[in-house]
Amino acid sequence: MTHAAVWLDHREARIYALASSDVAKQTILTPRHPERHHQGAHATDKAHPDDAKTFFHEIAHALEGYVHILLVGPSSAKTDFQRYAEEHDKGLATRIDGVETVDHPTDRQVAALGRKFFKFSDAMTT
């Protein structure tokens, strides 16, 4: 596979490997650390300072081998990841072909957006 559409926010990244007729999906979740509050019995998730770097590193690793990458998502995570790539992995940064804002599309909608962006046709192979 050479083309990927990546939907991400600050909690999750979904990587869609685009082919002319099918799509494979991989999900990466940001690390979360349960924290107990002394006042109550409920645990909540708390982010740690290095979680974003760890999360972005995992995404970058998952994108090895893709030649063309489209980043999409509702928040600043997509541009934060692009900045991470520019600072830590110049090769990855050069393979990011586009960054677009979208809300919370379905898997099919992300795949369709990627295919449209990369101008896939039914005859195209990866």
Supply the Cα-derived Rg of the chain in whole angstroms.
Answer: 16
Task: Report whether pLDDT(122) > 70.
Answer: no
Residue 59 buriedness (CB in 10 A; 0-12 / 13-18 / 19+): buried
Element (H, E) at 113: helix 107-117
pLDDT in the model for residue 32: 73
- 62 and 34 Cβ atoms separated by less than 8 Å: no
Q: Which residues have CB under 8 Å from 106's CB, separation 6+?
A: none
CA 69/CA 55 separation, integer angstroms: 17
Q: How confident is the model at residue 21 (pLDDT cuts 50, 70, 90)?
A: confident
Q: Which residues have CB under 8 Å from 21's CB, separation 6+?
A: 122
**Residues of the chain with pLDDT > 70: what percent?**
80
pTM of the model: 0.83
Task: Report whether pLDDT(121) > 80.
Answer: no
Q: What fold is seen in the domain 3-117?
A: Nucleotidyltransferase; domain 5 (3.30.420)
DSSP 1-39: --EEEEEE-SSEEEEEEE-SS-EEEEEEE---EEEE-TT
Spell out the domain ranges in the chain. Answer: 3-117
